[in-house]
Every structure is written in C-alpha cells, then in structure tokens.
Amino acid sequence: MDLQFSAADLAFAAEVRDWLAEHLAGPFAVLRGKGGSQNEEFFELRLDWERELHAGGWTVLGWPAEYGGRPATIAQRVLFEYEYARAGAPYRAGFQGTNLLGPTLIAHGTPEQKQRFLPRILSGADIWCQGFSEPGAGSDLASVQTKAVPDGGEWVIDGQKVWTSHAHQADWIYMLARTEPATARHRGLSVLLVPMGQPGVEVRPIRNLAGSEGFNEVFFSSARTDRSLVVGGAGQGWPVAMSTLEAERGIAMLGYQTQFESEFAAMLEIAHHRGGTADPVLRHRLADSFAELNVLRYNVLRTLTGIMRRGQAGPETSLLKLAPGPRRDRHGSDGRCFPDRRKGLRAGPGPAHLPAQPGRDDLRRSAPDPPEHRGREAARAAPRSPGRREARLRLTLLSCRYPCSRLACSRSDRRSTLPRAPRGNSPTTCQRVGTLKPASSCRV
C-alpha cells in the first residue's frame, strides 16, 4: 500500500474541502450527516443539493468533457469521495445515474441514448434505480427470469425485481431482463431502460425493523418501453451489467470508509450517553465493529493502491461490497438498538422496541465480567418482559465454548467460563452441569 499524492492532487483536495465548507451551509446545513443509501430524509432538498453540485462542477468527475464531465485523475476522484464523506455531505440522490448508469451509457450506449439521458442525469432531472436482483436471482444474477418480448416497436416486460433501492422515488429503472427465452444463464439477457410512471409498473416498499423503506419490490405486468432503449444491444446484457457492477464497487465505494467512521463515532457517543457501555455484551459488539472498521480501512487502502496502479478497479473491489464496514444489522448509526439504561426503555419508535437478538459472532467472551460489572447478576433477578428474557436465554445458550455444533446444553444457567473441549471431540457431558442433550431438544 503505497499511496502518494502529488501537490496538484493535494491542492485539488483543498479546493473540494473549501467548496463543501462554503456550500454545506444555509438551507443545506441540515443535510450534514444524512449519509447512507437507506436514508430517506430530505429527499427533495437532496435533489436541490444535486443541482448545487452540478452548478459547481462536482457531479461527474472523470466523465469526458463532451458529455458534460469534469476531467479528473483517479487520485482526484478518490480524494473527492474522501473529502465528501469527511464533510458529512448527504448521500447523493442521483447516485444511480451519475455513478452507475452514466458510465455504463458512456461505455455501451448509442449516441441517441447518450444525448437523451446524460444531460438529464447531470442536471438531476431524472432519478434512476437499478433492477437486477430477483427473488430467485440475487448472488446468482444469471438466473434472471424477468422476460421482455418484442411487440412492434416496443418491449413488453413481465416479472419481478426485489431489493430495488429508491424505486418509489425513481423516474426510470435500468433493468436486466431475458429477451431470448430459449437461452439460459448468461446468454439472452439485455439491459433495458424502462419508465417507472406507467400502469404496468407497481412498486411495493419493503419496511425494515427500523421503519425505513429504502428497499422495494417492483412488479412488471405488461410494462412497455421503446425497442431502441436497449443498452449495448439485445442479448448483450451480461457484459453491460458487469461493467455497471464494476462501477458500483469501484471508486464510489471508497468514501464509505470515512462515512462509516463518522457513523461509528456517533454511535459510540450515543452508547456512552445512554449508559450502554456498562453492558459487557454491547461493549464486545462495539469492539467487533471497531475491528471490522479497521479491516475495512486496510482493504480500502489495498484497493486504492490497485486502482491507482492499474487505472481501473479490479476484482478486489467486490470485498468492499461484500463486507462494507461494521454491519448495520447489529446497530444503526442512530443508536436505536441501544437500550436507554437511564429510563429502562428502548429508544426509538415502532419496531425499534423489539428485543435485539445477538448472533454467535457477537458473543466471543473468554473471561468473567470485571468486578465493576458483576452487579448485573442481581439485575437478572429483576422481572423482565418475555422478549428480554428470551434474548437473555439465547445469549446464555449461545455462549457455549464447546466447538461441537451437534450438541447443545439443556441448562440455561451454563456460562462461558467452561473449559474448551479438546479439538475434534464431541462432548457428551458438561463439567459444570452434567449431561448434554442433542441440539434438537434445545429450547432456543
């Protein structure tokens, strides 16, 4: 990892920093810290911010000047992403267009497609979403079943997409569909540009436990689009989609590290404020997130070195998409999953009151609690709601340190202080509580 920026690059970073400090003020000051692809706040104001970026010449760094872009080196594009994240600037409302579809159209689109769509992407007039994943085609994207059949001068589309970010806000969707029914897997796929505002397109939001609706299901029932709106030609959808995913996992992902660092700092402050750090389990969860954040940092540095040497992203960028920092399913950046120990209540509305369910990787405890935290044994005796008791029981049972995955302890008072069994053994007795029972009889 040998990162060296020239004097011109550092001057460019200073220019970005100064511009953001000047313009993230006034009506846009409220947008600071509104990062994250699932953030639904201030969408209209974020559209105005997109236009402000366009006016300042920051929307599409690295695009060819003939398409309205601003020439920039790889190093400068990376520095912009870092400075943007460090300033707490909001998640880009036009990200799908400027960072994903735009480069795809420049590489594979027809002159008519570029002339029609690129200026509107630049100005923020059109908001796009991506329609790749399906219920039966997620990681195995070649299993796409959504079909598009030619009908005169149009394509008629039937099928379903899922986990589509911002579909409820988008004007258009670029989607992967099977246009040659007799083919299978990677052959016979095409990338189509489809207008969302038509009777044959239905969007159903997917609400998560935190109440957000950033993801959606999209249903196509005889939806239509013009026959000319195929990117890269009919049947060439796989290489086109792969170039889009390369852009998604490239430079634009690198700024996420700084964003995650800011979110973690805010989360840690919330935990301190609510007294959550007195809980050793939560402390271990925070420590795990801190370790993952540092792993991400070194992966980012390694990826950045490769991009600067080769001039383009490589396959290692998939690691950034696979494990993007401290997992938000453990605790949101707003701290809604942290118990407020000052009041004995969970903070946050609606589903945030549900009990947290710790996973196996959150329970790596190898030593008893320190003396200052042993008072929680008495707290366990206090009456608790069934949800909290269930979570506590799960915590106790999953703290078993035996490596055997086929047997589980039937006693709820077992602790993680038991000695580890010899490697390769399947113990049938517990040194503290006696006989172990098969996992099928476990109460968890």
Give the C-alpha separation, 254 to 238, whole Å: 25
**Residues 198/224, Cβ–Cβ less than 8 Å:** yes
Q: How far is residue 379 CA from its own chain's centroid?
A: 37
CA angle 273, 277, 279 (to 5 degrees): 130
Residue 338 makes CB contacts below 8 A (sequence gap 6+) with 270, 271, 274, 276, 282, 331, 346, 347
Q: Is 316 exposed, middle or buried (0-12, 13-18, 19+ CB in 10 A)?
A: middle
Give the C-alpha separation, 17 to 258, whole Å: 14
Report which secondary-structure segment, H or E, holds 252: helix 251-254
Tokens representing residue 295 in the block = 């792993």
Q: Which residues pair with 219 in a beta bridge?
A: 160, 202
Give the C-alpha separation, 299 to 370, whole Å: 34
Tokens representing residue 72 in the block = 């920039």
Active site residue 248: yes
One of 50, 248, 263, 292 is an active-site residue; which one? 248
Residue 404 makes CB contacts below 8 A (sequence gap 6+) with 421, 425, 426, 427
φ, ψ of residue 396 to 5 degrees: the values are: -65, -45
Catalytic residue numbers read 248
